[in-house]
Chain A
Amino acid sequence: MSNNDTIAAISTALSNSGISIIRVSGDDAITSIDKIYKGKKKLVDVESHTINYGHIIYNQEIIDEVFVSVFREPNSFTRENVVEINCHGGVLVTRRILEIIIRNGIRIAEPGEFTKRAFLNGRIDLSQAESVMDIIESSNEYALNASINQLNGSVSREIVSLREKIIYEIAYIESALDDPEHYDLNGYNDRLTNVVKEVINRVDKLIKSSNNGILLKNGINTVIVGKPNAGKSSLLNILAKKDKAIVTDIPGTTRDIIEEQVSINGIVLNIIDTAGIRETDNVVEKIGVDKSISAIEEADFIIYVVDSSIELDNNDYSIIEKIKNKKHVCLLNKSDLTNVVSEDDIRNHINSKVISISAKEGKGINDLENEIKDLFFNGEIEDNNEVVITNIRHKDLLCKCDESLKLVLDSLSQDMPEDFYSIDLMDAYKYLGLIIGQEIEDDLVEEIFSKFCMGK
Chain B
Amino acid sequence: MQEFEEKKFVEETYDVVVVGAGHAGCEAALASARLGMNTIIFTVSMDSVAMMPCNPNIGGTSKGHLVKEIDALGGEMGVNIDKTFIQSKMLNKSKGPAVHSLRAQADKAMYSLEMRKTLQSQENLTLRQAEVTELIIQNGKIKGVKTFSNGTYYCKNAILCTGTYLASRCLYGDVIEHTGPNGLKSANYLSKSLTDNNVEILRFKTGTPARIDGNSIDYSKMEEQFGDEKIVPFSFTTDPDSIQKEQVSCYLTYTNEKTHEIIRKNLDKSPIYAGIIEGTGPRYCPSIEDKVVKFADKSRHQLFVEPEGLYTNEMYIGGMSSSMPESVQYEMYRTVPGLENAKIVRNAYAIEYDCIKATQLKPSLEFKNIEGLFAAGQFNGSSGYEEAAAQGIIAGINSARKLQNKEALILDRSESYIGVLIDDLVTKETREPYRMMTSRAEYRLLLRQDNADLRLTKIGYEVGLIDEDRYNKLCIKERLIQDEIERVKNVNIGANKKVQDCLIRNNSIPLNCGVKLSDLIRRPELDYDKLSEIDVDRPDLPSDVREQVNINIKYEGYIIRQIKQVEEFKKLETKIIPDSINYEDVNSLRLEARQKLSELRPRSIGQASRISGVSPADISVLLVYLEQGKYLNKDND
Contact = CB atoms under 8 A, between A and B. Distances in A.
B628 interface: yes
A177 B438 contact: yes
Nearest to A120: B627
A174 B437 contact: yes
Contacts of B632: 126
Interface in A104-157: 110, 112, 116, 119-120, 122, 126, 129-130, 132-134, 136-137, 140-141
A187 interface: no
B479 interface: no
Interface of B: 54-55, 61-62, 91-92, 95-99, 209, 282-286, 291, 294-295, 298, 301-302, 304, 318-319, 321, 428, 437-440, 444-445, 524, 555, 558, 561-562, 586-590, 612, 615-618, 620-621, 623-625, 627-628, 631-632
A441 B295 CA distance: 25
Contact of A119 (B283, B298, B624): B624
B558 A420 contact: yes
A182 B304 CA distance: 11
A418 B558 CA distance: 12
Q: Which 7 A-B pairs have the closest CB atoms?
A: A417-B96, A140-B617, A133-B588, A449-B283, A419-B96, A174-B439, A455-B285
A255 B11 CA distance: 77
B95 A130 contact: no
Interface residues of A, number: 42
A182 B440 CA distance: 19
B590 A141 contact: yes
Given A126-B632, A132-B624, A453-B295, 15 more contacts: A110-B617, A122-B631, A129-B627, A136-B588, A141-B617, A174-B438, A181-B91, A181-B304, A417-B96, A417-B99, A419-B95, A420-B555, A454-B284, A456-B54, A456-B55
A181 B91 CA distance: 9
Contact of A453 (B61, B291, B615): B291
Contacts of A414: 524
A420 B99 CA distance: 10
Contacts of A133: 586-588, 621, 624-625
B620 A116 contact: yes
A116 B590 contact: no
A423 interface: yes
A238 interface: no
A416 interface: yes
Nearest to A449: B283
A320 interface: no
Given A140-B615, A453-B295, A453-B298, A178 B623 contact: no
B89 to A, nearest CB: 10
Given A179-B61, A453-B295, A456-B209, A126 B631 contact: yes
A410 to B, nearest CB: 10
Contacts of A445: 437, 439-440
Interface of A: 110, 112, 116, 119-120, 122, 126, 129-130, 132-134, 136-137, 140-141, 174, 177-182, 185, 414-420, 423, 441-442, 444-445, 448-449, 453-456
A1 to B, nearest CB: 9
Contact of B628 (A110, A129, A182, A418): A129
B590 to A, nearest CB: 6
Contacts of A418: 95-96
Contacts of B286: 453-455
A441 B54 CA distance: 30
Given A119-B627, A177-B61, A449-B283, A140 B437 contact: no
**Chain B CB within 10 A, most for which of A110, A116, A417:** A417
A444 B524 CA distance: 28
Given A133-B587, A141-B617, A423 B445 contact: yes
A448 B282 CA distance: 13
Given A181-B302, A420-B555, A448 B439 contact: yes
A79 to B, nearest CB: 13
Contacts of B561: 423
A133 B625 CA distance: 8
B558 A423 contact: yes
Given A177-B438, A420-B555, A136 B284 contact: no
Contacts of B620: 110, 112, 116, 136, 140
B283 A419 contact: no
A182 B303 CA distance: 10
A116 B625 CA distance: 11
B284 A126 contact: no
Given A119-B627, A130-B588, A178-B438, A136 B617 contact: yes
Given A136-B588, A140-B615, A453 B99 contact: no
Nearest to A451: B295
23 contacts: A120-B623, A126-B628, A134-B587, A137-B590, A137-B621, A140-B620, A174-B438, A178-B61, A178-B439, A180-B61, A181-B302, A181-B304, A417-B96, A417-B98, A420-B445, A441-B612, A444-B439, A445-B440, A453-B291, A453-B294, A454-B284, A455-B282, A455-B319
